[in-house]
Amino acid sequence: MKLLNDMALFVEVIKANSFRGAAEALGIPNSTVSRRIAELERRIGLRLLNRTTRRIELTEGGRLYFERCRRIVDEARLAHEEISELVDNPSGLIRLSMPTDFGVVYLAPLLAEFAERYPQIQFDLDLTPKRLDLIREPVDLVIRIGTLPDSQLIARPLGTLRRSLFASPGYLARYGMPASPAALLQHQCLRMLDAPWVLHDTQQKISLAVQGRFLLNNIGMLRRLALLGQGVAMLVDEMIGEDLAQGRLHRVLPDWKAEDLPVYAITETRLVPAKVRVLIDFLTDQLRRD
């Protein structure tokens, strides 16, 4: 049992990236953490960490040992949850990261519904598009949109988001409704990337080198400029439903669509606790239903 406890302590040290951080998280003296890790290294006969005054680094053997220990610790945690019936009554804190505008506009009402279903779950929400280090940073689940970079993390597809073209009534009154995709070349197009727009209907796919005065990297700003009559925007259908219903935006070329965007739930390991698993299942059901 002491070996298992020290393995769990070793995992906490790596996640915190310091002895002090692990000591504070576990509520034990920093000297105790240092002593137990040194004893663990002597017991297995291998240096696991290179220590300096400011940081610690895994040795090659330490990295392999960490991966094995992490799996063992995750298995033990899941076994404890099942015994405690947390699978049927999940509880605890979920630290969730998501893109800002997608979180505010689309995920907020879903999270409110989820919170009603599971009153014993609390949330710590981080709204950011940046790439996170799930080993070093205290995050349980990351939601990201679009193509993902290669990594050792576990990415579960939640669903896809439809994208279409929209413009405000004021813009269309001033410049007219494009009659074909080629007509977009004569319009102000609000662009998220300096790249062609790829559109498709039921029979063909085309690429258009559209232009416009605004190039940006924020969906919320893109939607806002479209509402202010500054051009035609490619937006996610599920995120502008109210604008469409209230007549603040109109569809442009409704028979033509952009490629769907995949949505992923990203975790450090496949062995996620019950509270995270039920959230992933809930979001999968909601996105695929929508």
pLDDT single digits (tens) 36-66:
999 999 998 899 998 876 778 899 999 999 9
Q: What percent of the chain has pLDDT over 90?
A: 56
pLDDT for 146 beyond 90: no
pLDDT tens per residue across span 103-115: 988 899 999 999 9
Taking residues 3-9, what's their average pLDDT? 87
Q: What is the pLDDT of residues 183-202, one digit of tens each?
A: 999 999 999 888 899 999 99
Mean pLDDT, rounded, of the chain:
89
Q: Which residue has the higher pLDDT, 271 or 163?
A: 163
CB-CB contact of 135 with 14 (8 Å) = yes
CB 26 within 8 A of CB 36: no
The dihedrals phi and psi of 254, each to the nearest 5 degrees, come to -60, -20
Q: What is the pLDDT of residue 86?
A: 62
Do residues 40 and 7 make contact, with C-beta atoms less than 8 angstroms apart? yes
Span 202-234, pLDDT tens digits: 999 999 999 999 999 888 899 999 999 999 999
